[in-house]
Chain A
Amino acid sequence: MLKIKDLHAKAGGKAILKGLSLEVKPGEVHAIMGPNGSGKSTLSYVLAGREGYAITGGGVEYQGKDLLAMEPEVRAREGVFLAFQYPVEIPGVSNKYFLKAAFNAMRKHRGEPEMDAGAFLRFVKEKAKLVEMDPSFLNRSVNEGFSGGEKKRNEILQLAVLEPTLALLDETDSGLDIDALKSVAGGVNRLRDPKRSVVLITHYQRLLDYVVPDFVHVLSGGRIVKSGGKELAHQLEKEGYGWIEAAGKAAA
């Protein structure tokens, strides 16, 4: 599914990712944890194709193709989805229009007919119910005036509508109360499938109580410094990141 090999990336001239390697197989859920500044968000943006990052070494293979050579919209159409840590407000573009444009762009890419407005509205209302979102949000401008929790729920709605093959969730759990966290987790769990993969990028272990990962990796200084099963998350929760960072520095 996803093979990241010795990835090096710079932002604003500063090296952020310094030889990151990770392999995600179909059906697996991976959690990437790490302290602030370890490179978690850079990893998610580099994978989604945001401008402003220079790849200085290594590469990323997605379903056998060179992911980094694709435009961001092509990555999305090929099934890569990034749930943003800070979803963007787009005044004047209605949420349902945006979702329909995205949904139909995917279908067009797969050579399927586009869904008409009426059929799409019925479809998206069902999805909104699943993620426990009030359908009135479909008529509002994308994320405009949404609370932090509503924005995250809107990301999960997009996830449910677009049904990606590889979902990357960047701190989707931050700033959520327990009810919102449960419905976000529900949205992710519904997507779990032997053909799909999920990468959860998070600072805290909390989300992992609801979306149980197959693997946990610790990112520090732009590299994966430790990998393990779900018990690693509990260890990090108890002991913090200090021992990992100390170990990382000693190793360097």
Chain B
Amino acid sequence: MDRGGGEGGGVTPILQQGVDFAARFAAAKDRLPGAGLPWLASAREKASTDFERQGPPRSRRADWRFTPVDAVLGTDFEPAGRPKSHSGFAGKALCPLTFHRLVLGNGRLLPERSRYCDLPAGVSVSSLAQALQDDPGSLREDLGRDLSAEGLPFACLAAALFGEGVVVRVARGARLDRPLHLLLACDDTESGRPQMAHLRLVIILEPGASLELIEESLGGGRAPFWTNLLTTVRIGAGAGLKHYRLQRENALGSQTSATLVELGRGSRYESHAFSFGGALLRADLRVRLAAEGAQCSLNGLCLVRGTETADHHTVVEHAAAGGITRELYKAILDERGRFVFDGMVHVKPGAQKTDASLYNKNLLLCDDADVHSNPEFRIFADDVSCKHGGAIGRLSSEAMFYLRSRGIGASDARRMLVYAFGSEMIERVSLEPLRESLMAALHARMPEAAEETA
């Protein structure tokens, strides 16, 4: 089932074509947003040093051993330029146009494509570059955060090199009237060369606030594109965030992301990750239940095919008593696709009455596909309820025969069963228009029905 990591025989491949990140940082640091702010300059410097000290993640690192990271490290990306055309971005999105919307094309805010001027009182949304001009002091805590101990090299790289981003702040008790849609789209530039964008998202919910955020990435163009995201989320007491992540890169698109979530007393974080395409998708999600009675629900559905890889690493840290975690990731694998799931729930001493479940279920449609699944608990409290499990299965031949015996053709029956496996995760989406477009997107990614003509 395993077709091997990126390395063999102890020989480190020499990557002549990769980006020299230190040189790139030295050349760009005086032109990056907030360059005049001494505290930010030193935070960027430190992050760059932290990245160089850790080195780019290679497959010899345990947490990267199944991740074909050469898709990202073996290409000489240039900092993304303005896309040649961007008129079709919003129309291809899964999100309805009626939501508040920010569009970033190739990592740049496109004001003419965005619409977020009529936000309710207490809600502020702005580009990170703009926020660094208007009110840099309010971002110091989030952008100055030390990432050196996280073991996330690409997050350090994003902290050093970010050229843009988005800041969302919801004041105490405030809520949005409609969800906020953040569209990260990309397309070719005039140069036609591989492009990369490093972005930071800062999400702050004050106590009692609530937000539904849809973060959607959309691939395009004929040149490789790499998006490297660092997202920090702070959720105050009693506040709640629903965070949808829709990933549809094209065959040359890659995305690496780190999302660091801190949950206050009695607050809620709900994440729904849909990975529907991309040469390499690597997501590191860290959720810390820092105060009593916090809850998180982490959901994922990945459909990988071709030679795509989707890789989800999640760490949930129960640092206080009475926390609840519900985690389920599902993957459907076809052709030579690869899915990696590494889920850790860490129950710290004193986190009594923790109630956590952690599951990963995978459906293999082809023998050439591979899955690496590792759901795991570390428990240092004695009065807890923790359940976990993993499963890798194939389509049931009993169910196939049952459907066919009712006149349903083999390929229709197959699609029906694959769809049934995946739709469980889509049904958990509470936004109806989004649920419908996700259903359609899942259908569009289904195994072909070419052989069935009868």
B79 within 8 A of A: no
Cα distance A98–B410 when bound, in Å? 14
- Check if A101 sits within 8 Å of B412, measured CB to CB: yes
Which residues of A have CB within 8 Å of B92? none
| Given A91-B420, A92-B420, A92-B423: A101 touches B405 (CB 8 Å cut-off) | no
| Given A74-B454, A93-B420, A101-B412: A88 touches B407 (CB 8 Å cut-off) | no
Cα distance A77–B409 when bound, in Å? 10
| Given A73-B404, A76-B404, A98-B403: A88 touches B410 (CB 8 Å cut-off) | no
- Check if B399 sits within 8 Å of A90, measured CB to CB: yes
B99 within 8 A of A: no
Count residues on chain B whose CB falls below 8 Å from chain A CBs: 24
Closest to A107 in B: B407
- Check if A76 sits within 8 Å of B406, measured CB to CB: yes
Among A51, A71, A72, the most chain B Cβ lie within 10 Å of the Cβ of A72
Q: How many Å from the CB of A110 to the closest CB on chain B?
A: 11
- Check if B454 sits within 8 Å of A101, measured CB to CB: no
Cα distance A141–B399 when bound, in Å? 13
| Given A92-B424, A102-B407: A72 touches B416 (CB 8 Å cut-off) | no
Which residues of A have CB within 8 Å of B396? 88
Q: How many Å from the CB of B452 to the closest CB on chain A?
A: 9
B397 within 8 A of A: yes
Q: How many Å from the CB of B402 to the closest CB on chain A?
A: 4
- Check if A158 sits within 8 Å of B406, measured CB to CB: yes
Which residues of B have CB within 8 Å of A87? 402
Q: How many Å from the CB of A99 to the closest CB on chain B?
A: 8
Count residues on chain A whose CB falls below 8 Å from chain B CBs: 29
- Check if A51 sits within 8 Å of B402, measured CB to CB: no
Closest to A141 in B: B420
Contact with B along A175-196 (1 / 0, CB 8 A): 0000000000000000000000
- Check if B401 sits within 8 Å of A162, measured CB to CB: no
Which residues of A have CB within 8 Å of B119? none
A48 within 8 A of B: yes
Closest to A74 in B: B454
A49 within 8 A of B: yes
Closest to A89 in B: B399
Closest to A79 in B: B407
Which residues of B have CB within 8 Å of A93? 416-417, 420
Cα distance A109–B452 when bound, in Å? 13
- Check if B417 sits within 8 Å of A73, measured CB to CB: no
Interface residue from B408, B419, B420, B421 paired with A102 (Cβ < 8 Å): B408
- Check if A72 sits within 8 Å of B420, measured CB to CB: no
- Check if A90 sits within 8 Å of B403, measured CB to CB: yes
- Check if B421 sits within 8 Å of A92, measured CB to CB: yes
A244 within 8 A of B: no
- Check if B407 sits within 8 Å of A90, measured CB to CB: no
A82 within 8 A of B: yes
- Check if A105 sits within 8 Å of B408, measured CB to CB: yes
| Chain A, range 146-165, C-beta contacts under 8 Å to B | 158, 162
- Check if B420 sits within 8 Å of A49, measured CB to CB: no
Contact with B along A88-131 (1 / 0, CB 8 A): 10111100001001100110010000000000000000000000
Which residues of A have CB within 8 Å of B405? 48-50, 72-73, 75-76, 81-82, 84
Which residues of B have CB within 8 Å of A102? 403, 406-408
- Check if B410 sits within 8 Å of A71, measured CB to CB: yes
- Check if B420 sits within 8 Å of A51, measured CB to CB: no
Q: How many Å from the CB of A63 to the closest CB on chain B?
A: 16
Interface residue from B399, B408, B409 paired with A88 (Cβ < 8 Å): B399
Cα distance A227–B152 when bound, in Å? 77
- Check if B454 sits within 8 Å of A98, measured CB to CB: no
Cα distance A71–B404 when bound, in Å? 8
| Given A93-B416, A93-B417: A88 touches B404 (CB 8 Å cut-off) | no
Which residues of A have CB within 8 Å of B419? 92
Cα distance A236–B421 when bound, in Å? 46
Q: How many Å from the CB of B153 to the closest CB on chain A?
A: 39
- Check if B420 sits within 8 Å of A76, measured CB to CB: no
Which residues of A have CB within 8 Å of B403? 90, 98, 101-102
Q: How many Å from the CB of A232 to the closest CB on chain B?
A: 29
| Chain A, range 177-220, C-beta contacts under 8 Å to B | none
B432 within 8 A of A: no
- Check if A109 sits within 8 Å of B402, measured CB to CB: no
Which residues of B have CB within 8 Å of A109? 407, 454
Closest to A50 in B: B401
Closest to B402 in A: A88
Cα distance A85–B401 when bound, in Å? 14
Q: How many Å from the CB of A191 to the closest CB on chain B?
A: 16
Cα distance A105–B401 when bound, in Å? 15
Among A51, A87, A141, the most chain B Cβ lie within 10 Å of the Cβ of A51
9 A–B contact pairs at CB < 8 A?
A: A71-B410, A73-B408, A73-B454, A74-B454, A76-B407, A93-B420, A141-B420, A158-B406, A162-B407
Which residues from chain A sit less than 8 Å from chain B, CB to CB? 48-51, 71-77, 81-82, 84, 87-88, 90-93, 98, 101-102, 105-106, 109, 141, 158, 162
Which residues from chain B sit less than 8 Å from chain A, CB to CB? 396-399, 401-410, 412-413, 416-417, 419-421, 423-424, 454
Known A84-B402, A141-B420, A162-B407; further 18 A-B contacts with Cβ < 8 A: A48-B405, A50-B401, A50-B405, A51-B397, A73-B405, A73-B408, A74-B454, A76-B406, A76-B407, A77-B407, A90-B420, A91-B420, A92-B417, A92-B424, A98-B416, A101-B408, A102-B408, A105-B409
Smallest CB-CB A-B distances: 3 pairs: A92-B420, A76-B407, A102-B406
